[in-house]
Amino acid sequence: MNLGHLRATLWLRWHILRNRIRRGGKLSNVLFGVLLVLILCACVGVFFLTLGLGIEHLPGAEPKDVLLAWIALTLGFLFSWSIGLVTDLQRSDAMSFKNLLHLPVSLSWVFLYNYLSSFVSLSVAIFLPAMLGLSLAMVVTHGPPLLLCFPLLLGFFGMVTCLTYQLRGWLARLMEDKRRGRNIIAAVTFGFVLLVQLPNLINIGVHRSDRDERHREREELRELRRLAHEDGPGKAEAEAKLARRAEERAQDELALERNITLATMLIPAGWLPYGVRATAERRWLRGGLCAVGMFAIGAWSLRRSYRTTMLSVVKGGGPTREVPVAPPPSVGKRTTPMVERTLPFVSEGASSIAYASLRGLLRAPETKLLLLSPVFILAVFGVLLARPSTREALSSFAPALSLGAITMGLLSIVQVLQNQFGLDRAGFRAYVLSPVRRDRILLGKNLATAPLGLGIGLIALVAVQLLIPADAEHFVGACLQLVSAYILLCALGNTMSILSPMRLKEGGFKAANAKFKTILWQLLAVFLVPLTLSPLALPSAAEFVLGLQGWARAVPVYPLLHAAGLVAVCLLYRWMLLRQGELLQNREQQILDVLTRD
C-alpha cells in the first residue's frame, strides 16, 4: 500500500461514514454527535483525572499501592474489553479483503489497516488516556527513568489487541463453515461469559460465607477494643488478643501481597502492573523484560493472525473438510419431521408456522446464545437463594418469588418476543406472500417460542420451589401464572414486532442499521414487561385479603384465582390477536422493508 492507496482508503472510509450519517436521520445524527462529544470529553477528562490523582498521591505511595492502582486499571480495561468482545465476537474487518483482492494493493497493509482499526473502541478510548495520564504522573513524580511505563503500556495494548484480533479472525474463519462455525461461536461465547462471570459467582457463593465469618470477627474485635479501653478485669487479656490479631493481620496482608505479586509476574495480563511496579522500584531489567515479553506475544499473535487470514483469503475458504453426508432415511419406519407435525385445535397455517419457526429457532446460534442468560440468572439467583439466611427471610414471600422468577425467566427471551420477525430476515417475505391469515401467523410465531418461554419459566419455578418450597396449591397457581405471563408478553411482543421491527445482524441479536427511535421503543418495551405482568400479582393480594377474613382456608383461593386470570388473559389475547392480525396486514410491507434493507 503506497500513500495513494492510503489516501484512497481513508477517502473511502470517510465517504462510507458520511453516507451512513446522511441516511441516519436527524435525530440519530444529533445523538451520534452528542455521544461523540461525550466520549471525547470523557477521554480528556480521565487523562487529567488520573494525571492529577497520580501527581497528588504517587509521591508518598508504596510500591504495593502503585501495583494495586495499575491492577485496578488493567482489570477495568480487560473487563470492559471482554464485554465488547462478547458483543461483537466475530471479527468484521474495516476493509473487506474480498473487495480488494483483485486490486493492486498489498494485502499485508490492508491487514495492518484492519488491525489498527480494531483499536477503535470505547474501552480503548477510556482506558488508554487513563493509563497514559497515570504513566505521565509516574514520570513527573518518580523522574524520567519511569518513561519505561510508556513502552510497557504500548506492549500491553499491543498484546491484548493482537490476541483479540487473532481470536476474532479464527472465529471468522470457522464461520465460513456456517453450520459448524455458528455452533462453535455459541459454545465459545458460552465459555467466555462463564469465564468472565466466574469471579462474580465465586464472590456470591463462596465469599458470602466468608463475609458472615468476617462479620463475626469484626464484632469480636469491637468487643475486645471495648474491653481494652475499659479498666476492667479482662483488659490485659483483651490487649494481648488485640496484639496477636494485629500481628496475624499483618502476616495475612504480607502473604496476600506476595500472592498478588506472584500472580502478576506469572500471568501475561499482569505484566503491565508488575512491570510498572518493578520500574518504580528501579528494577529496570524486570520492567524491560515485561515490555519485551508483551511485545513478543503481541507480535507472535499478529503474525499467526496474518497467516491465518492470508490462508483464508488467498486460498479462498476456511478449513477444508469433508461435508458430512446425512444418513439416508430408514425405510419402513418413517418418523414425522418436525415441520410436518400438526397442533391440535390450531389451524394448518398457524401449526406450520409454529413448527417451522421452532425448527429454525432451535438451529439458530442466536437462540443458543440467548438461552445462556437464563442459565446465568438461575446460577446467580440460585446461589443467592441457597443461603439458609436468605431462604429463611424469603420463605413467607413465596408467591412474590414465583412471579419474580417467572419475570426474570421470560425477560431472557424478551428480545425474541418483541422482534418476532427479526430472525426471519428475508424469510419474512414468505409470510407476506402467503395466503395465511395474519392473526394466524402471529399465533404460529407465539406457539413457536412457547417451548422456550414456558420451559425457562418452568425451570425457574422448579428451582424456586426446590430452594424455598411452597405448598402444592401455590405451586399449581404459579404454573398457571406462568402461562398467563407468557400469553401477556406475547400480546405485548406482537404489538412491538409489528410497530417496531428491527433487522438483526447474522449470528446475533445486534441490530443492523436500526434507527434510534426503534431502539428506544424496544428498550421502553423491556421496561414495560414488569408493568404488563403486574396484574398477575392480584391473586396474591386477593389471597392475603381473604386470608385476613379467614376465608382463604376453606377454598384453594390462589390456584382458582390464577385459573380465572388465565381464562381472562386468553380471552384478551384472542381479542387482541384479531386486531394485531389486521395491523400486521396493514404494516407487512413496511416491516419487510425494515427487515430486508441493507
Instruction: Name residue 422's amino acid.
Output: G
Distance (Å) of CA 366 to CA 167, 251, 369, 541, 579? 19, 50, 5, 39, 30
CA-based angle 403:481:579, to the nearest 5? 115
- Exactly one of 286, 425, 505, 515 binds another protein (CB under 8 A); that residue is 425
How many Å is the Cα radius of gyration of the chain? 30
- Residue 354: its H or E element: helix 348-363
> How many distinct helices (H) and strands (E) make up the chain?
23, 0
CB of 368 to another protein, least distance (A): 11
Burial of 511 (0-12, 13-18, 19+ CB in 10 A): middle
Q: Is 331 in the site for another protein (CB under 8 A)?
A: no
CB of 575 to another protein, least distance (A): 18
CB of 417 to another protein, least distance (A): 18
Measured CA to CA, the distance from residue 417 to residue 487 in angstroms comes to: 11
CA-based angle 307:313:315, to the nearest 5? 90
Measured CA to CA, the distance from residue 467 to residue 384 in angstroms comes to: 10
- The residue (of 411 and 423) whose beta carbon lies closer to another protein is 423
Q: Is 223 in the site for another protein (CB under 8 A)?
A: no
CB of 577 to another protein, least distance (A): 15
Name which of residues 351 to 370 contact another protein (CB under 8 A). Answer: 351-353, 356, 359-361, 363-364
Q: Is 585 in the site for another protein (CB under 8 A)?
A: yes
- Exactly one of 155, 349, 409, 565 binds another protein (CB under 8 A); that residue is 349
- Exactly one of 426, 531, 548, 554 binds another protein (CB under 8 A); that residue is 426
Q: Is 452 in the site for another protein (CB under 8 A)?
A: no
- Exactly one of 7, 178, 222, 303 binds another protein (CB under 8 A); that residue is 178
Q: Is 183 in the site for another protein (CB under 8 A)?
A: no
Q: HEC states along 514-554?
A: CCHHHHHHHHHHHHHHHHHHHHHHHHHHHHHHHHHHCCCCC
Dihedral sign (CA 569, 575, 581, 582)? negative
- The residue (of 351 and 402) whose beta carbon lies closer to another protein is 351
Q: Is 279 in the site for another protein (CB under 8 A)?
A: no
- The residue (of 325 and 548) whose beta carbon lies closer to another protein is 325
Instruction: Fill in the per-residue mask, 503 to 542: x = in contact with another protein (CB under 8 A), - = not in contact.
Output: ---x------------------------------------
Diameter of the chain measured on Cα atoms: 95
Contact 416, 492 (CB under 8 A): no
- Exactly one of 46, 403, 592, 594 binds another protein (CB under 8 A); that residue is 592
- Exactly one of 241, 304, 437, 505 binds another protein (CB under 8 A); that residue is 437
How does DSSP classify residue 278?
H
Region binding another protein by CB under 8 A among candidate stretches 313-321, 429-437, 509-517, 542-550: 429-437
Contact 481, 398 (CB under 8 A): no
Q: Kindly list the residues in this chain that would bind another protein in the complex (CB under 8 A).
A: 178-179, 325-326, 337-340, 348-349, 351-353, 356, 359-361, 363-364, 424-430, 432-437, 506, 582, 585, 589, 592, 596
